[in-house]
Amino acid sequence: MTAPVIEMQGICKSFPGVKALSDVSFDARAGEVQALVGENGAGKSTLIKIMSGVYQADSGAVRLGGEPVHFTHPVQSLHAGISVIYQEFSLLPERTVAQNLFLGREPRGKFGLIDERAMRRETRRVLDLFASGAKIDPDSTVGELDVATQQMVEIAKAVSLDARVIVMDEPTAALNDTECAELFETVDKLRDRGAAIIYITHRMREITRLADRVTVLKDGEVAARFDHVPAPDAIVRAMVGRDIVDFYAPPATDAEIGAPVLTVTGGRNARLKNIDLTVRAGEIVGLAGIQGAGRVALAMALFGQEPFTSGETVLNGTAHNFTSPRQAIEAGIGLLPGDRKKEGLVLMQSVRDNAMLTPRAFAPFWATHKRNANADLSRIDDLLDRMDIRAASYEQDIRGLSGGNQQKAIVARWLAMNPKLLIFIEPTRGIDVNAKAGIYHLMRDLARDGAGILMISSDLPEVIGAADRIVVMQEGRITAKFPRGASERDIMHAATHEIGEPA
Ligand SMILES: Nc1ncnc2c1ncn2[C@@H]1O[C@H](COP(=O)(O)OP(=O)(O)OP(=O)(O)O)[C@@H](O)[C@H]1O
Ligand SMILES: [Mg+2]
């Protein structure tokens, strides 16, 4: 067995009021993918930040290639061969791909001038090592590239810096299926080239697909180490400390499905064709389809962001033609965009205050960061309790919460608006299995209280497990409607085959 490239021993780290890591030991070897998993707030990102010098450990040791290291700044770890790819990229958006790759270490010509040609040539060489890199132009401006491409640029940068350790913290959170598949190939390639890869994810399928070994953190401690990839149940058990029976499928509805909350007839706009859709009180409708199928466009139309140009929308018995999110919200539609940055968390405010803010889409720009005047405190706390938010207290600054827990505070914010129709877009992205089950139950409770729920998710098992009915879209139109219990195969067929093609 090869010696570890990176070794962390007995790492302890506390933040005010939280012991984030206690006595954690962890290592990764050259040529392997080590999955680092655990619930929201388990300490994964903190461990990585200690490895890379963003945070200092209270105690414990880090060794790189057998030598003790004490990084006090991420630049030091970067130069020592540790590249961390965070979800928030560190590229400069206004510079080109090549400039970003060589930032601070540009090749120089005779007179000390930057050798642009050499830079471009070397960038090309590195990008060409990867199938999805080969498509990238070294001269394109980074800010104009999509998320997947920017991520590939980050990876190319790690490779050109000859990183021995490459850390990816939830790298697929913003990628579609095709982009994910391309990323997995890139990860395989990096492993073949001998990098030690530390891969943080909440998705069991990715662990199965990629990992050689698995380390599970729970409440800041190592809960399990696997030298192979065990069955998902075993990982979940170690993460959560018990079995989760319904980690995909929440209980089926036992409530009466009521009258339609929403009916759209013949809805059209530039991106949508002839949409007929009904969501009834008490039901969860899953909206499936591949990236670009029009699911988000449909949500945006319902929400008044990119309105229908023809057709009829009836909400709770009244015909509407929403032309702004504000109108949609006033009429009783809530939309959870699934991207916490867009939702504008105020990092310096408490968890409770964040949950009490007016959702951004509702308020005019000058009034975002304003409290929702209708929110009542005990109800907010009740909602936060139901979301099972892991925080020292609701008075704590939200910036100290893990990503998944921040997400839950946003869900609470929307629920405080008492919507009749709730549209969830990728509601469990970045949320751990246990909290996911919590969100499914919460959706179910909301439906039972009489709301209609439209759920857009790229996680097919999630749609199948959580929805009472499934509507499939392709190329801006609805291609199929299934009752509960449809198979993955049937849904994929409706999502990808030419319209009219037999199953
Ligand atoms: N800067 C900080 N200030 C205060 N507390 C923090 C800070 N960073 C992390 N914590 C706390 O440390 C614990 C571990 O957080 P961490 O971000 O490492 O979790 P994680 O495993 O990465 O979770 P997620 O899956 O949600 O990203 C949490 O309780 C979190 O609230
Ligand atoms: Mg994290």
Q: Where are the domains of the chain?
A: 4-242, 243-332+419-503, 347-415
Ligand 1 lined by 40 (C-beta under 6 Å): yes
Backbone angles phi, psi at 360, to 5 degrees: -55, -40
Q: 């601070």: which residue's tokens?
A: 104
- The answer to whether 72 touches 56, Cβ cutoff 8 Å, is yes
Ligand 1 lined by 167 (C-beta under 6 Å): no
Q: Are 4-242 and 243-332+419-503 in the same CATH fold?
A: yes
Neighbours of 99 (CB within 10 A): 21
* pTM (2 d.p.): 0.71
Residue whose CA lies nearest to ligand 1 atom number 19: 41
Residues 6+ apart with CB under 8 A from 466: 248, 249, 250, 284, 286, 440, 443, 455, 457
Proximal ligand: closest to the CA of 405: 1
Ligand 1 lined by 398 (C-beta under 6 Å): no
Distance 12 CA to ligand 1 centre (A): 13
Reported as type and span, the H/E element at residue 441 is helix 433-448
Distance 285 CA to ligand 1 centre (A): 33
Strand pairing category for 32-38 and 196-200 = parallel
| Domain covering 4-242, topology | Rossmann fold (3.40.50)
Measured in residues, the chain has a length of 503
Ligand 1 lined by 201 (C-beta under 6 Å): no
Q: Could you tell which of 24, 36, 46, 350 is best to mutate to test the pocket of ligand 1, judged by most ligand atoms within 8 Å of the CB?
A: 46
Q: 């770890």: which residue's tokens?
A: 77
| pLDDT at residue 112 in the model | 83
138-142 long-range contacts, Cβ below 8 Å, gap at least 24? Answer: 138/96, 138/97, 138/98, 138/101, 139/96, 139/97, 139/98, 140/96, 140/97, 141/93, 141/94, 141/95, 141/96, 142/91, 142/92, 142/93, 142/94, 142/95, 142/96, 142/97, 142/100
Ligand 1 lined by 404 (C-beta under 6 Å): yes
Ligand 1 lined by 216 (C-beta under 6 Å): no
Ligand 1 lined by 46 (C-beta under 6 Å): yes
- Taking only the tens place, the pLDDT of each residue in 45-75 is 999 999 999 999 999 999 999 999 999 999 8
Ligand 1 lined by 403 (C-beta under 6 Å): yes
> What number does the ligand 1 atom closest to the CA of 47 have?
18
- The answer to whether 173 touches 91, Cβ cutoff 8 Å, is no
Ligand 1 lined by 438 (C-beta under 6 Å): no
Neighbours of 184 (CB within 10 A): 16
Residue whose CA lies nearest to ligand 1 atom number 2: 400
The token pair at 412 is 């609470």
- Taking only the tens place, the pLDDT of each residue in 310-324 is 999 999 999 998 898
Distance CA 347, CA 357 (A): 12
User: Homologous superfamily of 243-332+419-503 in CATH?
Assistant: P-loop containing nucleotide triphosphate hydrolases (3.40.50.300)
Residue whose C-alpha is closest to residue 429's, from 308, 341, 348: 341
- The residue ranges of the chain whose pLDDT is under 50 are 363-369, 501-503
| The residue type at 65 | G
Distance CA 490, CA 248 (A): 18
Strand partners, 217: 38, 222
Distance CA 450, CA 292 (A): 31
